[in-house]
Amino acid sequence: MNSNKWLSWISLNLAIIAVATQRWLTLVKSLDLSVPFYQLLKIRQAGQAISFITPGPQFGGEPLQIYWLWKQQHWPIHSALLAVGVDRFYELWINFGVLLMSVVLLMNTSCGIGTLEASLFWMFQTLDLPLSAVMSVIALMRLRDVITLLVGLSCVRGLR
Q: What is the pLDDT of residue 78?
A: 87
Average pLDDT over residues 14-34: 88
Q: What is the mean pLDDT of the chain?
A: 77
| 51-66 tens-digit pLDDT | 888 876 566 788 899 9
For the beta carbon of residue 44, count every other beta carbon within 10 angstroms. 20
Q: What is the pLDDT of residue 44?
A: 92
Q: Distance (Å, rounded) from C-alpha 75 to C-alpha 107?
A: 46
Q: Does residue 133 surpass a pLDDT of 80?
A: no
Burial of 69 (0-12, 13-18, 19+ CB in 10 A): buried
Q: Distance (Å, rounded) from C-alpha 75 to C-alpha 82?
A: 11
| 69-116 tens-digit pLDDT | 999 999 999 889 888 988 888 888 887 777 777 777 777 665 555 565
Average pLDDT over residues 33-46: 92
Q: Give φ, ψ of 113 to 5 degrees.
A: -70, -40
Burial of 83 (0-12, 13-18, 19+ CB in 10 A): buried
Cα–Cα separations (whole angstroms), residue 71 to 32, 65, 66, 77, 80: 18, 10, 9, 9, 10
Residue 2: helix, strand or coil by DSSP?
coil
Out of 50-59, 139-148, 151-160, give the one with best mean pLDDT: 50-59
SS (H, E, C) 55-66: CCCCCCCHHHHH
Which H/E stretch holds residue 150?
helix 128-159
Q: What is the pLDDT of residue 122?
A: 60
